């Protein structure tokens, strides 16, 4: 595993991925850095399906190992929404300040024990020989009463982790990666790839 291409267009994910998987001797390229344009349509209904769709679309254009991340925020009070549609919730180009405020408004007056939520991340790998693997990671938390913090990306300012008493946007990247859905799924994938000698 000397080179891998990550099938994502999300720079926030890419930063975390480099921090979690990075080691001397391993080149990690985003699909853009690899010069690959993906035509993946994320039309699956599960994180697993969409992660595989993204990984396969890039793998079809390279001989390198390809990984992809499909992730999202499940809010129990909203019946699991936005879930697999997290990036598209209220429109892909709508700023997260607006999306986050909308969620805070939808949960106005809802008591803490009903504000439970989780981030979910599925990592898919497509190996040069065609084998495919997926791993999953989650982090449980609650939707806060206000946006807090500047770190991370997306919904991080409204996602509070009880053991840290703050939002994931208030954690350092190192702290977030240690406990996050993405950190867990990527470390599990590292083990899988080691086992299959990829
Ligand atoms: O605050 C957050 N902290 C996180 O750690 C996190 N992980 C996922 N998300 C949300 O879920 C969508 C994924 O959707 P997604 O997997 O389709 O990714 P994407 O469209 O952004 O990029 P790509 O990888 O598909 O190119 C993202 O855009 C975010 O809205 C997060 N929000
Ligand atoms: Mg996407």
User: What is the pLDDT averaged over residues 75-84?
Assistant: 98
Which residue, among 67, 64, 85, has the nearest Cα to 75 in the 3D structure? Answer: 85
Token pair in block for residue 183? 């950190």
48 CB within 6 A, ligand 1: no
Whole-model pTM? 0.97
Nearest to 187 by CA among 137, 125, 152, 141: 137
Q: Which ligand is the nearest neighbour of the Cα of 138? A: 1
Nearest CA to ligand 1 atom 28: 87
43/59 Cα distance (integer angstroms): 18
Could you tell me the distance, in angstroms and rounded to a whole number, from the CA of residue 80 to the centre of ligand 1? 15
Any idea where the domains of the chain sit in the sequence?
Answer: 3-195
Atom of ligand 1 nearest to the CA of 154: 1
* Pairwise CA distance, residues 50 & 187, whole Å: 20
The ipTM value here is 0.98
Q: pLDDT by residue (tens digit) across 88-117? A: 999 999 999 999 999 999 999 999 999 999
- First-to-final CA distance of the chain: 6
Label residue 39 exposed, middle or buried (CB < 10 Å: 0-12, 13-18, 19+): exposed
pLDDT band at 197 (very low <50, low <70, confident <90, very high): confident
Nearest atom (ligand 1) to Cα of 10: 22
Mean predicted lDDT score pLDDT of the chain: 97
Q: Which residues are annotated as a binding site for Mg(2+)?
A: 41, 70
Ligand 1 in reach of 139 Cβ (< 6 A): no
Please determine, for residue 1, whether its predicted confidence score (pLDDT) is greater than 80: no
Share of the chain above pLDDT 90, in %: 98
CATH architecture of residue range(s) 3-195: Alpha-Beta Complex (3.90)
pLDDT(198) > 90: no
Most ligand 1 atoms within 8 A of CB, residue of 87, 88, 183 to mutate: 87
- Binning pLDDT at 50, 70 and 90, where does residue 60 land? very high
Query: Mean per-residue pLDDT for 144-155?
Result: 96
- Ligand 1 centre distance from Cα of residue 87 (Å): 6
Break the chain down into helix, strand, coil percent, rounded to 5. Answer: 35, 25, 40
What mean pLDDT do residues 126-138 have?
Answer: 97
For the CA of 155, the nearest atom of ligand 1: 1
Rounded alpha-carbon distances, angstroms, from residue 59 to 20, 63, 77:
22, 7, 37
Assess whether the C-beta atom of 182 lies below 6 angstroms from ligand 1. yes
What is the pLDDT, as a whole number, of residue 97?
97
161 has a pLDDT exceeding 60: yes
pLDDT (mean) for 24-45: 96
């Amino acid at each position: 595993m000397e080179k891998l291409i990550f099938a994502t267009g999300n720079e926030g994910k890419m930063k975390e991925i480099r921090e979690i998987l990075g080691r001397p001797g391993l080149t990690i390229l985003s699909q853009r850095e690899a010069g690959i344009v993906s035509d993946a349509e994320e039309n699956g209904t599960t994180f697993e399906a969409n992660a595989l769709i993204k990984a396969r679309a890039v793998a079809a254009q390279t001989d390198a190992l390809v990984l992809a991340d499909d992730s999202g925020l499940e809010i129990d009070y909203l019946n699991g929404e936005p879930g697999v549609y997290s990036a598209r919730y209220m429109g892909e180009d709508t700023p997260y300040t607006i999306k986050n405020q909308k969620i805070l408004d939808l949960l106005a007056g809802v008591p803490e024990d009903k504000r439970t939520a989780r981030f979910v991340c599925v990592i898919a790998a497509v190996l040069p020989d065609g084998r495919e693997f997926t791993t999953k990671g989650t982090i449980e938390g609650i939707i806060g009463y206000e946006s807090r913090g500047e770190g991370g990306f997306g919904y991080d300012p409204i996602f509070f982790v009880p053991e840290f008493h703050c939002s994931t946007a208030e954690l350092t990247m190192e702290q977030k990666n240690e406990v996050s859905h993405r950190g867990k799924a990527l470390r599990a994938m590292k083990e899988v790839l080691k086992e299959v000698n990829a």
